Structure 1
């Protein structure tokens, strides 16, 4: 199915641009680059996953809390430990930490009061990325043969 016939479909295309370096392009033409994390500043795939988890929740929390007022500080950190064990390579101890401040006054008080609930809604229901990681999803791997 193409993006035009299935509005739920999300996709990215990867193109190798050098040794251990790739360009990811989304359906809207946006690009980002990643690699093994050697000499170049590119994100590694694991760092992209952490950024996706943090970014997804940050957007959720901002949308909820900023209905009242804009934050004066909004920083988010995602971390996890990469391990290799009987299950293969994976991350453990995933954590997303929010450091958010709002201005003084009534609107800031309301936003502060909503912050924890907004974080919990993102974690428990809204953030597609972290929900997918939490629930687990099968990943099918296919080989496309082209002449």
Structure 2
């Protein structure tokens, strides 16, 4: 099981760290030298797809130039994403049409079946929030 802790280190400045000691800075959108939470979500989606596809792709096209990109698709000012399109890019010039179609099929199937992040995003699981202190009775006041 993976665990990540995000600790405040300054005003609008945070560090996320995993159990293995890896860390990444995060902050508000536009913060210099930091990822925003949405950018981390995009990185997770693209990263999961590229990690899942890496062996399948490099075995067929070689080691060079495997890149994954994810985009933030939402209306201006919205506070939820409408989509997270992911693009994998690699050199297919050495493949004929049949090889390219076979690679496309195996990569799509692997990402759809094995990529935990994109599978989770499609499922939209709950993300309960726990706060310190007693739980107030009744509905939560708007905030």
Structure 1 Cα separation of the partners of residues 61 and 12 of structure 2: 44
- C-alpha contact (below 8 Å) 2:56/2:107 kept by paired residues: no
Match of 1:31 in 2: 23
- C-alpha contact (below 8 Å) 1:81/1:93 kept by paired residues: yes
Match of 1:16 in 2: 8
Match of 1:100 in 2: 90
Does 2:72 align with 1:70?
no
- C-alpha contact (below 8 Å) 1:74/1:98 kept by paired residues: yes
**TM superposition score normalised by structure 1:** 0.76
Pick one of 127, 135, 143 that aligns with 2:123: 135
Query: What is the CA RMSD across the aligned residues, in angstroms?
Result: 2.5
Q: Deviations over 1:5-59 (max 9, x none)?
A: xxxx211011101111110110101111100033412110001100100010001
Does 2:80 align with 1:90?
yes
Q: Deviations over 1:73-108 (max 9, x none)?
A: 2222111223489xx72101321112211563xxx5
Gaps of 5+ in 2: 134-143
**Greater strand proportion:** 1
Match of 1:124 in 2: 112
Pick one of 22, 40, 53 that aligns with 1:61: 53
Q: Which moved more, 1:68-77 or 1:52-61?
A: 68-77
Aligned residues: 132
Match of 2:34 in 1: 42
